[in-house]
Structure 1
Amino acid sequence: MTSLLLKCFVLLAISLLLDAKNGSKSQPSACFCKLQGEVDDCSCKVENLDSLNNRKVYPVLKSLLQRDYFRYFKVNLIKPCPFWSDDSRCALKDCHVQSCTEDQVPEGLKGNKNEREPNKYSKEAQKEEPNCNEERKLGALDRTISAESMEAFKNWTQHDDKQETFCEIDDEYTPDCQYVDLLLNPERYTGYKGASPHRIWKSIYEENCFKPEKLVYGSKKSLAGSMEGLCLEQRAFYRLVSGLHTSINLHLCNEYLFPAKNLLSSPEFGPNTEEFIRRFDPKPTKGQGPQRLKNLYFTYLVELRALVKAAPYLEEEDFFTGNPEEDKDVKEGVKDFLEIIKSFPDHFDESKLFKGDPKVAEKLKTEFREHFRNISRIMDCVGCDKCKLWGKLQVQGMGTALKILFSGDRIGLESTVNAHHKQRFQLRRSEIVSLFNAFGRLSSSIQTIEKFRKLTS
């Protein structure tokens, strides 16, 4: 009996020591302490969005975004930063794509898919600034585009030129624009860290975002109660940006580069629970982490509502690629997707925004629009091509969602925009592609939260 008790005490002591060494298994669950109940400034519950997204939306949307119409995004990645001349990152100087017109792209231009990344991403290396070669390789774009796709793009452009346009999309027709295959360039860890990305986000939060008065980006000061000084529109803007920021960070945590386990293996991408805890646990973030995760759900709701409002318009879109069978499948897939999200009973209500005194509301809406326009311009200052690609795409997608929400004869849950009023409302191909892919990123992020919930439980 004495021997048995002694063994129990020894095992208990070992367990306590291991918990202390690993920071305790119960700690990571604190990341999810706010992920329940109603989304802030909305009536929808987090649990309902988890169920909708993970069971219905994510599987359908993931498949849809593999299609040619959505996988190719036309973007200008060499547009100069309008706010500062140099972000002091080697990637900005060396890791850019030499753009050319579609007719100039040679058939044999292929990315080197067999090149392996060097094993230089140890725990110690993550604490240091990555050297130029490491960052350049991780941040470089795979520019592989087949000759067949390049020929099809010409027909796509001719088709778009025949459509009435609602507004001009930045860079759409400049010779510096190029098509990028999103499937060959997934959003993941690139080694882009330190002063440069900090400067990007600091500029967004400090200069172009409505925020709590005393909150300084990077200070890690608690946000408890600090949102009370902001009106609904200002809170909405802040949560939109925070939700986007959270989504990007979740993808970096989920697609993190780990060093090779031995000399015969290669570095691999995968989920990093330590990085997730560092960014979202209450303790290292001074209480901000869980709220950041919840803001993701607000951003998701806003873009979800935009897709529903634009459903009549999108159902009339032909999703032209020049392949009749492919176009038919995409059209049917989009219709199935829209039916799923239209059936959701608790959407974001945009009519609650910009109410009250008309002059005050109009002034606030103008500030809202100008702030967001500046954020889209800041994306040209990102010093990593892959980061810039996904930053520009997701910001444009969010901008398209806001355009939809405040278009049409009226706003509110009963309002829609459709293809029968093209003189008053029009979406270009790049807007549709960015809208669906941006929402796809948010959908993937919510699914990723569930993954980390299981990994840290």
Structure 2
Amino acid sequence: MSRVKELILLLFAIYFVGGFCDEKNQSEIKFEDGSSFLNKDSCFCQIDAGQLEDCSCTTEKISHFNNQIHDKLVKVLHGDYFRYFQVNFHKECKFWDDRDGQCGSRNCAVDTCPHDSVPDHVKHHKDDIHKKDSESTPAKDHTIMEFIQEKYHEFLPMVEPLVVMWHDFASSYLPPYLQPAAPCLEDPLPQYSKVDTSLSGAPVDLINQFCTLDPFESTEGCNYIDLIKNEEKYTGYQGKSAGRIWGKIYGDLCFAPKEGSSVSDLCLEEKTFYRIISGLHSSITVHLCSKYLLQQENPLMGRPAVWGRNKQEFLKRFDPKLTGNKGPEWLKNMFYLYLVELRAIGKAGSVLLSQDYKDSDISSQVQELVQAATQFKYHFDENDLFKSDELKKGELFSEFKQKFREISHLMDCMGCERCKVWGKLQVTGIGTALKILFTPTEDLRLTRHEVVALVNAFGRVSTSLMELEEFRD
């Protein structure tokens, strides 16, 4: 008899809690035509319920941990070392001949940094990518080379005015056949100011095989972008242009479930790949809904552009009833991606702590971040993937790497500069995380470009989880 009472009480509790959640979180979605849709299932109950599939962690624990470290992470990302990211805007799209629809909105544009506005320690940063190759080189030779490089960078800026003066003189007074080739007048030495030349001779096997690295693969030069001044936000880049990018990713470059099947039908490695991509997609969508263009700028009317959270757009993107009940799963994949990148930061802790940040505050904050990541109890476990040597050396692992590398190539096809910057940064960050997870710690080496992308990408998904709480209210 007591068991019957317990069962009745349990059923009553389930009904009461479920009803409370629906009543508390139900929301009315109003559309542009004036119609509305009362959604009783738009609460976050599906996200909050239970632990993540194939993980030993719940979304609640992840959110609690993220709340503790987010402010510290933001401070790190405002440091000079992390705020400047290199992008090559001139790489051709390898997937289709025509340039993907160019964004005509001024919101798509970014301001590139003139080389004299980038801190010297960022421009002249020297990666230790050659460390093992140079161990057999006598210390004296290494010191001489360092001295020559330092003097080269020290005196090269002083030569720039002379180059411009010579060009002006030759163009005005010398016959055409003696005139020098015209340089870039905005920047007489573009390779010096825009390319991280310290990567140029690095062995290919030491460079990230999961994604392309613009400074390493660039032949025409990269621009520095100040990520703080060019924040990620809604630009108006949408429709067929943006859809073409995601269609290519999910259609050809992702282990997506086939029609009539679900993610659960994929093997663990394929599910992991899909969840990472879906988590990235969801995170970007949350960013855009958080910094949505609520009012267009109109200088003639004296009306400024207004940016802010668009809860209606968020509901359209993730509401269960409007997404075939997939929206909550897409949001869960953000938490999955968070675990992947957090684990990478913890595993690469020694490499991150060995970087010269030229700022004691940033160094100590990175140390706190690494320590927190290391002490997190519910880590993503990369050892569950590709367990056997056959898998690690076989076709599936090669396909895993190649597919993600192709996605990084796809970022060159974006017709929106701001989207390209943040797309490249986040994809490079995930690629770096995967490199860290599948590289023996003793063999791991990272370039500044990879470190910047890794920590900024983690910052992006961390911000997404914080914004999720704002949309919850």
What's the TM-score once normalised by structure 1's chain length? 0.74
Superposed, which structure 2 residues align to 1:129-140 within 5 Å? 132=104, 135=105, 137-140=106-109
Counterpart residue type for residue 316 of structure 2? R
Q: 2:295 aligns with which of 253, 259, 265?
A: 259
Cα distance between partner residues in 1 of 2:323 and 2:93: 30
Give the drift of 1:358: 1.8
Give matches, 1:323-338, under 5 Å: 324=358, 326=359, 328-338=360-370
1:376 aligns with 2:388: no
Any gaps of 5 or more consecutive residues in structure 1?
1-15, 92-131, 216-224, 409-416
Matching of residue 435 in structure 1 with residue 454 in structure 2: yes
Q: Write the distance in 1 (CA, Å) between the matches of 2:70 and 2:29.
A: 37
Letter in 2 for 1:248: I
| Partner residue, 1:281 | 319
Written as runs of structure 1 = structure 2, the 5 A alignment for 1:47-126 is 47-54=60-67, 56-91=68-103
The 1:242–1:359 alpha-carbon spacing in structure 2 relative to 1, beyond 3 Å, is closer
Structure 2 segments unaligned to the other structure (5+ residues) = 1-26, 133-201
Seen in structure 2, the aligned counterparts of structure 1 residues 26 and 397 have a Cα distance that, compared at 3 Å, is same
Does residue 1:35 correspond to 2:42, yes or no? no
2:366 and 2:389 map into 1 onto residues whose CA distance is: 39
CA gap of 1:286–1:87, structure 2 versus 1, over 3 A, is farther
In the alignment, is the contact (CA less than 8 A) between 2:275 and 2:336 conserved in 1?
yes
Out of 323, 331, 347, the position equivalent to 1:309 is: 347
Matches of 1:40 and 1:249, distance apart in 2: 22
SS at match of 2:280: helix
CA 1:26–1:264: 2 relative to 1, 3 Å: farther
- The residue type equivalent to 2:58 in the other structure is K
- Please say if 1:206 is aligned against 2:260: no
Q: Secondary structure at the match of 1:33?
A: helix
Choose which of 181, 184, 192 in structure 1 pairs with 2:237.
Answer: 192
* In the alignment, structure 1 residue 236 sits paired with structure 2 residue 272: yes
Question: How many Å separate the matches in 1 of 2:369 and 2:28?
Answer: 50
Post-superposition offset of 1:425: 2.0
Q: For residue 344 of structure 1, what is the amino acid of its counterpart?
A: F
Picking from 208, 216, 222, the partner of 1:177 is: 222
CA distances 1:277-326 after superposition (whole Å, capped 9, x unpaired) = 0000011111111110001111111111111111122222222xxxx4x2
Question: Quick check: 2:102–2:416 contact (8 Å CA) kept in 1?
Answer: no
| Deviations 1:327-349, CA, capped at 9 Å, x for gaps | x2221110011122222111011
- Cα deviation code 1:112-139 (max 9, x no counterpart): xxxxxxxxxxxxxxxxxxxx3xx2x010
Q: Is the 8 A contact 1:38 1:44 kept in 2?
A: yes
**How big is the shift at 1:170?**
3.1
State the secondary structure of the residue aligned to 2:66. Answer: helix
State the one-letter code of the partner of 2:88.
N
Q: Residue 221 of structure 2: SS of its match in structure 1?
A: coil
Question: Who is 1:366 aligned against?
Answer: 398
Q: 1:190/1:403 Cα in 2 relative to 1: closer, same or farther (>3 Å)?
A: same
CA distance in 2, matches of 1:256, 1:150: 31
Q: Measured at CA, do residues 21 and 352 of structure 1 come closer, stay the same or move farther in structure 2, by a change above 3 Å? A: same
How far is the alpha carbon of 1:39 from its aligned partner?
A: 1.2
Report if the CA contact (8 A) 1:35-1:290 is conserved: no
The match for 1:95 is none
Does the CA contact (< 8 Å) of 2:215 and 2:221 recur in 1? no
**Which has the larger displacement, 437-446 or 336-345?**
336-345
Q: Distance in 1 between matches of 2:464 and 2:228?
A: 17
* Contact 1:76–1:178 under 8 Å retained in 2: yes
Q: Secondary structure at the match of 1:283?
A: helix
Match of 1:24, SS? strand
Match of 1:167 in 2: 207
> Which residue number corresponds to residue 295 of structure 1?
333
Q: In 1, are the aligned partners of 2:233 and 2:287 still within 8 Å (CA)? A: yes
What amino acid sits opposite 2:224 in the alignment? Y
SS in structure 1 of the partner of residue 214 of structure 2: coil
The more displaced of 256-265 and 225-234 is 256-265
Partner of 1:141: 110
Distance in 1 between residues matched to 2:268 and 2:41, nearest whole Å: 33
Distance 1:434 1:161 in 2: 17
CA contact (8 A) 1:66 1:183 kept: yes
* 1:159/1:234 CA distance change after superposition, 3 Å: closer
Deviation track 1:173-194 (CA, whole Å, cap 9, x = no partner) reads 5332111100111110000001
CA distance in 1, matches of 2:459, 2:48: 20
Contact 1:140–1:385 (8 Å) recurs in 2: yes
State the partner residue of 1:401. 433
Secondary structure of 1:308's counterpart equals helix
TM-aligned CA distance change 1:265 to 1:333, over 3 Å: same
Q: Say if 2:47 and 2:59, in contact at 8 Å, map to a contact too.
A: no
Which AA in structure 2 matches 1:171? Answer: D
For each residue in 1:335-368, what CA deviation from the matched residue of structure 2 results, as whole angstroms up to 9, or x when unmatched?
0111222221110111111125725862211111
Identical counterparts, % of pairs: 41
Alignment-derived partner of residue 249 in structure 1:
285
Distance in 2 (alpha carbons) for counterparts of 1:398 and 1:199: 21
Displacement, 1:396?
0.5
Q: What letter matches 1:402 in structure 2?
A: L
Separation in 1, partners of 2:295, 2:214: 38
Moved more, 361-370 or 282-291: 361-370
C-alpha contact 1:211 1:238 (8 A) present in aligned 2: yes
Residue 23 of structure 1 is matched in structure 2 by 37
Q: In terms of mean alpha carbon deviation, does 171-180 or 329-338 score higher?
A: 171-180
Q: Secondary structure at the match of 1:180?
A: strand
Q: Give the match's secondary structure for 1:186.
A: coil
Amino acid in structure 2 at the alignment position of 1:141: V
TM-score with structure 2 setting the length: 0.72
Say whether the 8 Å CA contact 2:87–2:215 is kept in structure 1: yes
Question: Quick check: 1:345 aligned with 2:363?
Answer: no
SS in 1 for 2:215: coil
Whole-angstrom distance in 2 between the partners of 1:286 and 1:17:
18
User: What is the root-mean-square deviation of aligned Cα atoms in Å?
Assistant: 2.6
Aligned mate of 1:46, from 35, 51, 59: 59
